[in-house]
Amino acid sequence: MPYDFQPSWLNEELTTYKETVERFLDTEMVPFDEESRQRGHVGHEIWRRAGEIGILCTDIPVKYGGGGGDFRHEAILYEAMGHRGLTGMSPSVHSIVAHYLLNHGTEEQRQYYLPQLARGELVGAIAMSEPDAGSDLRGIRTKATARDNEFFLNGSKTFITNGYLAELVLVFARIETHEDSGKFSVFIIETKKHTGYSVGNRLKKIGLKAQDTSELFFDNINLSANHILGGTPGRGLSQIMADLPYERLLIADMAMGAMEGAYKLTVDYVRNRKVFGEPLINKQNSRFVLANMVTTLKVARAFVDDCINKILCGTLDTETASAAKLWLTQQQNLLVDECVQLHGGYGFMDEYLIGRMFADARVQRIYGGTDEIMKEIISRKI
């Protein structure tokens, strides 16, 4: 039996769900991936379709229109996308938006937005980073000036995933009152409903070509307290902190899927590629490199599954989730690099999936908190 790195938590119900996800990806995403890469986004239709077949917001309760599942359902989608090198749609960012609303929104906000996110009618994005503030979020300049019972939002954000297609954006902003500008809130912006909201260019990236990453601009957008996540101003920072373990585990799990996909592609390649009159896999070096990958994948699977079990029990802490993000995304970069090497010159060609996986891997160590920020967090408890 060849190695497989099946999750330890996969049961019959999840296997059936996995088949649905894989069918959707193979028939409705893979064939259009190149088109999306050329265009720089996947289009709204695919989001609506994903909502229709029930693969968005799978870990959101049924009463809010979600799938009523848990993190394992989410993981199935991210890993299946990773296996196929699909990075165009970012359901993980969409899920993060849904979790902010679920965990910190008012009941009214949950009931109104969550079903629309689950149906894919609203594409979600989260806007924290700015040209001059990424790791140091306290340094953001986007501000919501309070006047009577209203807020006026001004500023800009950059690097926003799903930013071009987004219809619901959570914007992290500084609250400015007469007395104080030291507090933050997350504002809920329905992009089509506000004057003063605009989207800049889709940013040109060295990877994730099918994923829309954009700048966003806010010009005096008029908002009320109803647009504040949770309804009360000043809670933004603690809301963001509370959801970090979930976000970091998502990225670690995406790394897991991508590594498995890259390994499998490479095993196929070295079996078929002939060098010096024999298959490349016959060379001891190829087998040793692959053996190292198998070892990494087994360790990675054990770590990520342990984190998934912990998140299911509510015991995943920020340090462990940060360690998972740090280690798995670093391993992803090392492993995919070895895969490219075994592909030789073809590994550097854009038309070869492994080359794209190589380019896509790099940012995993940057977004959602850089390696260095993960180390800062982990080291706090030493």
Ligand X SMILES: Cc1cc2nc3c(=O)[nH]c(=O)nc-3n(C[C@H](O)[C@H](O)[C@H](O)COP(=O)(O)OP(=O)(O)OC[C@H]3O[C@@H](n4cnc5c(N)ncnc54)[C@H](O)[C@@H]3O)c2cc1C
When the beta carbons of 88 and 369 are compared against ligand X, the nearer one is 369
161 binds ligand X, rule: CB under 6 A: yes
208 binds ligand X, rule: CB under 6 A: yes
Which of the following is catalytic: 247, 278, 319, 372?
247
93 binds ligand X, rule: CB under 6 A: yes
User: Closest separation between CB of residue 111 and ligand X, Å?
Assistant: 25
242 binds ligand X, rule: CB under 6 A: no
User: Closest separation between CB of residue 287 and ligand X, Å?
Assistant: 35
User: Closest separation between CB of residue 130 and ligand X, Å?
Assistant: 8
Binding mask 333-372 for ligand X (x = CB under 6 A): ------------------------------x--xx-xx-x
Among residues 6, 8, 11, 135, which is the contact residue for ligand X, using CB under 6 A?
135
When the beta carbons of 135 and 222 are compared against ligand X, the nearer one is 135
Among residues 64, 100, 159, 218, which is the contact residue for ligand X, using CB under 6 A?
159
13 binds ligand X, rule: CB under 6 A: no
187 binds ligand X, rule: CB under 6 A: no
When the beta carbons of 66 and 369 are compared against ligand X, the nearer one is 369
When the beta carbons of 116 and 142 are compared against ligand X, the nearer one is 142
Among residues 56, 57, 160, 210, which is the contact residue for ligand X, using CB under 6 A?
160
User: Closest separation between CB of residue 350 and ligand X, Å?
Assistant: 18
The torsion region of residue 188 among left (phi > 0), alpha (psi -120 to 50) and beta comes to: beta
Taking alpha carbons only, the member of 114, 112, 135, 133 closest to residue 124 is 114
What is the Cα–Cα distance from 177 to 334, expressed in whole angstroms? 48
66 binds ligand X, rule: CB under 6 A: no
The stretch among 153-161, 256-264, 294-302, 333-341 that binds ligand X (CB under 6 A) is 153-161
What is the Cα–Cα distance from 327 to 365, expressed in whole angstroms? 9
The structure tokens 């629309």 sit at: 116
Three state DSSP letters for the chain: CCCCCCCCCCCHHHHHHHHHHHHHHHHHHHHHHHHHHHHCCCCHHHHHHHHHCCCCCCCCCHHHCCCCCCHHHHHHHHHHHHHCCCCCCCHHHHHHHHHHHHHHCCHHHHHHHHHHHHCCCCCEEEECCECCECCCHHHCCCEEEEECCEEEEEEEEEEEECCCCCCEEEEEEEEECCCCCCEEEEEEEECCCCCCEEEEEECCCCCCCCCCEEEEEEEEEEEEHHHECCCCCCCHHHHHHHCHHHHHHHHHHHHHHHHHHHHHHHHHHHHHCEECCEEHHHCHHHHHHHHHHHHHHHHHHHHHHHHHHHHHHCCCCHHHHHHHHHHHHHHHHHHHHHHHHHHHHHHHCCCCHHHHHHHHHHHHHCCCCCHHHHHHHHHCCC
What is the Cα–Cα distance from 204 to 202, expressed in whole angstroms? 7
When the beta carbons of 326 and 342 are compared against ligand X, the nearer one is 326
Active site residue 19: no
User: Closest separation between CB of residue 136 and ligand X, Å?
Assistant: 6
When the beta carbons of 346 and 367 are compared against ligand X, the nearer one is 367
User: Closest separation between CB of residue 296 and ligand X, Å?
Assistant: 23
The stretch among 19-27, 159-167, 224-232, 338-346 that binds ligand X (CB under 6 A) is 159-167
Residues 115-134 that bind ligand X (CB under 6 A): 126-129, 134
User: Which residue number is nearest to ligand X in terms of Cβ?
Assistant: 134
When the beta carbons of 73 and 365 are compared against ligand X, the nearer one is 365
Q: Which residues are catalytic?
A: 247
- Residue ranges that bind ligand X, judged by CB under 6 A: 93, 126-129, 134-135, 159-161, 205, 208, 213, 363, 366-367, 369-370, 372-373, 376
